[in-house]
Amino acid sequence: MPTDAHPADAPPPAGAPDQAPDHDVVIVGGGHNGLTAAAYLARAGKRVLLLERDDHLGGAAVSAEAFEGVDARLSRYSYLVSLLPQRIIDDLGLDVRLVRRRFSSYTPDPRDPSRGLLVDVEADAAAARDAFARVGAEGDADAWEAFYADTARVAEALFPTLTEPLPTRAEARALVGDDRVWDGFVERPLGEAIDERFADDLVRGIVATDGLIGTFTDLDDPSLDANRCFLYHVIGGGTGDWDVPVGGMGAVSGELARAAREAGAVLRTEAEVVAIDPATGEVRWREGGLDAGSDGGERAVRAHVVLANVAPVVLERLVAASGRGTEAAPADAGTGPAASAAPASGAATVAPRDEPAAVPGSDEVALDDATRRRLARAGMPEGAQVKVNLLLTRLPRLADASVAPEQAFAGTFHINELESQLEAAYRSAAAGDLPDPLPCEIYCHTLSDRTILGPELAASDAQTLTVFGLHVPDRLVDAHGNDELRERLRDAVLASLDSVLAEPIADVIATDAAGRLCVEVKTTRDLEDALNMPGGNIFHGPLSWPWTEPGAEPATPAERWGVATSHPRVLVCGSGAVRGGAVSGIGGHNAAMAVLEEELP
């Protein structure tokens, strides 16, 4: 049943020309950013209605029982927290507990899996040098310390700006205060900076992975896509730490939903938005959500402002379905996830096209191949990862006997991520082939928090593993078919794990109530289907720098906060906003701040 149903949600018939808005703000999409915006705006006294097409809230930040008959609630999609500001937690009174991980990472050496690099955040200088010496990289120990001192400088300078109006590039550079550091991370390809500062292939690869999360690019690409990805992965909290949410990601979204409801926001699930009229603020939606199909009863509501907690490509589709249509943007407009027809940086609507592209109507949620190809030319984003969830009866033994599994899996466990392997994987995927071996990184939630397990499992040696595979672009789905690719990726992930273990990983994978191995694989297309995330892109589009460029001076609150679209009455509040990627709530916070700065009619 829909949640938070309320008589006030039954508007007069759509199309009445003088119909007054039913709400101050309608939020399209109930992911964590939409919930954040709802909480802020409702606390400020605004009449807020949030519409979510699924039967639950949270979007990608959810916990779920992934395996039949198994009492374990895994963070099915997003899984770690870094960019969620303490400011948002404090402002909204969230009861969110985050656990810091003792070990930063462990990386078995693919050249010799009997040795590996364990990065202990509490190790002294001598112990750190010994750890690097074990993999033949003693000379990189001091370089590592110096490099991450530089990232800490950038994090301390820039992270506080993410919940303020966008600084200019010059202001951001002045905050960093070191031209050498700025040039290394912002002006030159990330691969150049890494190769200049580190000598060992293994160490270079560990550093490089933060620039490749969900991002299909070469480290030396002049687009600097890897640099932007890297920046967001090292500035979280002003430290760059990635923390474990106690209770899983669902606990984070649950607290945001509680804060929004208690402030008076109306949160409706099973309400699939089918059209947004940017001129009138009318939002049309279907009762029954995803299960209703075209038979669901259609309703309409009007608002002074509409916040889109959906990808820019989805927003374009919803605007087009209203009959208003959209116009293509100039090729140099904006710096947000999709380019904008608005002049200032941060607007997110329509990317440049090399030929006109038909946009599906409101009843065409699934994209057929022809439509996908057309939208690809219109700026369709592309994800580049596979997510695999596993439940184990115990942690596996490592080929490296000098490190306890409880240490190795306590941080980020890197597999087959030499820099040379990452480069080869990129070339392979760019040619349409699945990388072999598949670069992976792994995280074990239950070593830090066992509350996601039922009592029987929690008392046992059971552990969860989350695997994130790199360089798996969505185009591989078109080349191989989603079902075939999913099976091949499952085998590739298990093979990658086996390459650094002393026993087959299959020997320690638990089984569900039907006797099946507890392995869940989510391709980019699976993310698109489940989360309405085009191309499976976890950032909703290419990441942007967290500042404005010269000549793109913002003229409105929405532009100042990086949430503008080419439609003044529609703002983006999700990962598609400037600074909106990852589980941060920043997109929602910034959209709410922009609304509060505007004078509502």
Give the pLDDT of residue 379: 65
**Average per-residue pLDDT for the chain:** 89
Q: Which residue has the higher pLDDT, 13 or 489?
A: 489
Sorting pLDDT into bands at 50, 70 and 90, what band is 378?
low
466 to 234, 462, 582: CA distances (angstroms): 20, 14, 16
Mean pLDDT over residues 331-337, rounded? 35
Lowest mean pLDDT among 235-239, 498-502, 510-514: 235-239
Q: Is residue 352 scored above 60 in pLDDT?
A: no
Mean pLDDT over residues 192-210, rounded? 98
Lowest mean pLDDT among 30-39, 61-70, 230-239: 230-239
Sorting pLDDT into bands at 50, 70 and 90, what band is 20?
low
Task: Tell me how crowded residue 490 is: count the other CB atoms within 10 A of its CB.
Answer: 16
Mean pLDDT over residues 50-58, rounded? 98
Sorting pLDDT into bands at 50, 70 and 90, what band is 289?
low
Task: Tell me how crowded residue 516 is: count the other CB atoms within 10 A of its CB.
Answer: 12
Give the pLDDT of residue 273: 98
Give the pLDDT of residue 520: 99
Mean pLDDT over residues 496-514, rounded? 99
Give the pLDDT of residue 21: 76
Strands 98-99 and 519-522: unpaired
Q: Which residue has the tokens 């690019």?
A: 217
Q: Is residue 443 scored above 60 in pLDDT?
A: yes
Give the pLDDT of residue 371: 60
152-187 pLDDT, tens digit each: 999 999 999 999 999 999 999 999 999 999 999 999
Q: Which residue has the tokens 């082939």?
A: 433
Determine what percent of the chain is predicted with pLDDT higher than 70: 86
Sorting pLDDT into bands at 50, 70 and 90, what band is 494?
very high
Give the pLDDT of residue 330: 26
Give the pLDDT of residue 4: 56
Mean pLDDT over residues 508-527, rounded? 98
Mean pLDDT over residues 406-428, rounded? 98
Q: Is residue 52 scored above 50 in pLDDT?
A: yes
Contacts of residue 447, Cβ cutoff 8 Å, sequence gap at least 6: 406, 409, 410, 463
DSSP state of 11: P
102-114 pLDDT, tens digit each: 899 999 999 999 9
DSSP per residue, 264-290: T-EEESSEEEEEEETTTTEEEEEETGG
For the domain bounded by 21-62+249-378+543-597, which CATH number is listed? 3.50.50.60
pTM score: 0.90
Give the pLDDT of residue 192: 98
Rounded Cα distance between 286 and 24, Å, is 20
Give the pLDDT of residue 480: 95
Q: Is residue 234 scored above 50 in pLDDT?
A: yes
Give the pLDDT of residue 161: 98
Rounded Cα distance between 351 and 383, Å, is 17
Mean pLDDT over residues 76-97, rounded? 96
Mean pLDDT over residues 317-325, rounded? 88
533-577 pLDDT, tens digit each: 999 999 999 999 999 999 888 999 999 999 999 999 999 999 999
Q: Is residue 327 scored above 80 in pLDDT?
A: no
Q: Is residue 528 scored above 70 in pLDDT?
A: yes
Give the pLDDT of residue 157: 98
Mean pLDDT over residues 339-349, rounded? 32
CATH 3.90.660 fits 102-137+382-538, yes or no: yes
Give the pLDDT of residue 238: 86
Contact 585, 87 (CB under 8 A): no
Sorting pLDDT into bands at 50, 70 and 90, what band is 348?
very low
DSSP state of 183: I
Instruction: Show me where the domains of the chain are located.
Output: 21-62+249-378+543-597, 102-137+382-538, 139-241
Contact 99, 449 (CB under 8 A): yes
Q: Which residue has the higher pLDDT, 367 or 519?
A: 519
Q: At what angle do helices 524-531 and 482-498 cross, to 10 degrees?
A: 120
58-72 pLDDT, tens digit each: 999 999 999 999 999
Give the pLDDT of residue 51: 99
Mean pLDDT over residues 209-220, rounded? 98
Residue type, 13: P
The dihedral region occupied by 29, where left means phi > 0, alpha psi between -120 and 50, and beta the remainder, is left
265-285 pLDDT, tens digit each: 999 999 999 999 999 999 999
Rounded Cα distance between 498 and 264, Å, is 51
Determine what percent of the chain is predicted with pLDDT higher than 90: 82
Rounded Cα distance between 497 and 26, Å, is 45
Q: Is residue 297 scored above 90 in pLDDT?
A: no
Q: Is residue 19 scored above 80 in pLDDT?
A: no
